C-alpha cells in the first residue's frame, strides 16, 4: 500500500512544534533525519539512545499519511494549527511500503535498558554482554508497527519494566500492554519473568507484528493480542500504555479499570508540559504517581488504590 510522504526542514528548537502539528493532522509516523548529511543515504534516523539527547541542529522531518490524503488540505491544516512555523519547505511524494518500512533496520543496533533488558534486531549477532543467563533478550522485527525501543517513550517503559523485574514484581505476573505496536513491551515483560501478557492495539498490522515477534521470541503461547473491540475484560497487576497523551486522557477510566488493586501502571507517549493534567486525572485512582523524563518525553507511573 502506498503512502503520501511529507518532508520539510526544521531547526532543533522548532522540531517539537513541527512534530506536534504533523501528529495533530493525522501523520501515521514522523521520522527525524540529519539535514546536514552529505547524501540522503548518509542521513541517520534520529532515535536517541538511553541517556542521550539529539545533537543535530538542522533536521529533515518526514511524515507519512494515508495515500488518499490531500496534500493541499494537509498544508492548510498545518498552517492553521501553527501559523508561526514556516511550512514553505514542505514537499510531497508518494512512497511504497518498501521505501520506509525497513530503512531504519540499517541503523537499529542492540540496546540495553536497565540492568537486564536487551532489544536486539532479529538478524543481528547477540552482544557478548547479552549472552548471559540473566539477560532478558527480545529479538525484534517491528515491520510496519511502531516500537523498536529506540524512541524515548518506549525506552522509558522498558526501564520501568526492568525495574519492576528487579523488585520481583513481574515474576509470574500477567501484564497488559495497551497500544502494543510491535509487542516490544509485552515481550520484554515476558522475558523478564511475567507468566502471561496481553497486547491491545487498534491497528491490525500491529496485532500481526506482535504475534510474529512473539513467535520469533518463542513466547507465542504466552502472548495474546487483540483489537480493542475483542479485548476480554480482565484486571492485571501490571499495565503499561505507551500511547499519545490525548488517548491516555480519553481512556483513563478504561485503563484504571484494567489495573488490579495494588497493581502498577505506566503511562507514556507524553510530551513535557502535558503531564500535569494527566497526573491530576489519574490521581482519582492511583497513589504514588510520579513523572520520569527522557528528553522531551515523560512517563507517569503509580499504584492502584
Q: What is the pLDDT of residues 13-45, one digit of tens each?
A: 888 899 999 999 999 888 877 776 543 433 343
Question: Does 217 belong to an annotated binding site?
Answer: no
pLDDT for 173 beyond 50: yes
Question: Does 242 belong to an annotated binding site?
Answer: yes
Per-residue pLDDT band for 168 (boundaries 50, 70, 90) equals very high
Per-residue pLDDT tens digits for 113-148: 999 999 988 777 888 988 899 999 999 865 544 556
Question: Does 154 belong to an annotated binding site?
Answer: yes
pLDDT for 241 beyond 50: yes
Question: Does 141 belong to an annotated binding site?
Answer: no
273 — alpha (psi -120 to 50), left (phi > 0) or beta?
left
Strand partners, 266: 240, 301
* d(C-alpha 56, C-alpha 43), whole Å: 11
Reference 49, options 154, 129, 165; nearest CA is 154
Per-residue pLDDT tens digits for 44-73: 434 333 333 444 678 888 899 998 999 989
Average pLDDT over residues 279-300: 95
- For the chain, which domains are there? 3-103 (3.30.70), 108-304 (3.40.50.150)
Average pLDDT over residues 275-286: 97
Amino acid at each position: 500500500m502506498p503512502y503520501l510522504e511529507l518532508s520539510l526542514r526544521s531547526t532543533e528548537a522548532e522540531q517539537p512544534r513541527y512534530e506536534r502539528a504533523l501528529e495533530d493532522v493525522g501523520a501515521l509516523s514522523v521520522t527525524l533525519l540529519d539535514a546536514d548529511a552529505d547524501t540522503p543515504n548518509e542521513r541517520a534516523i534520529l532515535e536517541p539512545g538511553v541517556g542521550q539527547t539529539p545533537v543535530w541542529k538542522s533536521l529533515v522531518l518526514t511524515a507519512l499519511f494515508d495515500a488518499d490524503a490531500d496534500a493541499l488540505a494537509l498544508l492548510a491544516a498545518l498552517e492553521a494549527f501553527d501559523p508561526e512555523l514556516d511550512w514553505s519547505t514542505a514537499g510531497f511524494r508518494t512512497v511504497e511500503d518498501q521505501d520506509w518500512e525497513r530503512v531504519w533496520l540499517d541503523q537499529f543496533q542492540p540496546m540495553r535498558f536497565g540492568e537486564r533488558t536487551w532489544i536486539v534486531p532479529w538478524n543481528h549477532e547477540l552482544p557478548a554482554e547479552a549472552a548471559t543467563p540473566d539477560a532478558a533478550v527480545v529479538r525484534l522485527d517491528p515491520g510496519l508497527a511502531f516500537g523498536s525501543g529506540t524512541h524515548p517513550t518506549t525506552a522509558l517503559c522498558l526501564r520501568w519494566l526492568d525495574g519492576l523485574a528487579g523488585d520481583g514484581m513481574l515474576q509470574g505476573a500477567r501484564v497488559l500492554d495497551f497500544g502494543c505496536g510491535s509487542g516490544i513491551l509485552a515481550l520484554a515483560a515476558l522475558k523478564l519473568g511475567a507468566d502471561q501478557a496481553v497486547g491491545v492495539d487498534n491497528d491490525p498490522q500491529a496485532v500481526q507484528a506482535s504475534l510474529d515477534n512473539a513467535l520469533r521470541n518463542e513466547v507465542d503461547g504466552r502472548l495474546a493480542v487483540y483489537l480493542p473491540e475483542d479485548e476480554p475484560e480482565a484486571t492485571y497487576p501490571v499495565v503499561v500504555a505507551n500511547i499519545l497523551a490525548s488517548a491516555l486522557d480519553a481512556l483513563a477510566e478504561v485503563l484504571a479499570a484494567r489495573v488490579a488493586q495494588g497493581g502498577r501502571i505506566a503511562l507514556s507517549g507524553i510530551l513535557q508540559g502535558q503531564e500535569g493534567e494527566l497526573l491530576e486525572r489519574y490521581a482519582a485512582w492511583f497513589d504514588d504517581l510520579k513523572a520520569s523524563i527522557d528528553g522531551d518525553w515523560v512517563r507517569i507511573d503509580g499504584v492502584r488504590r
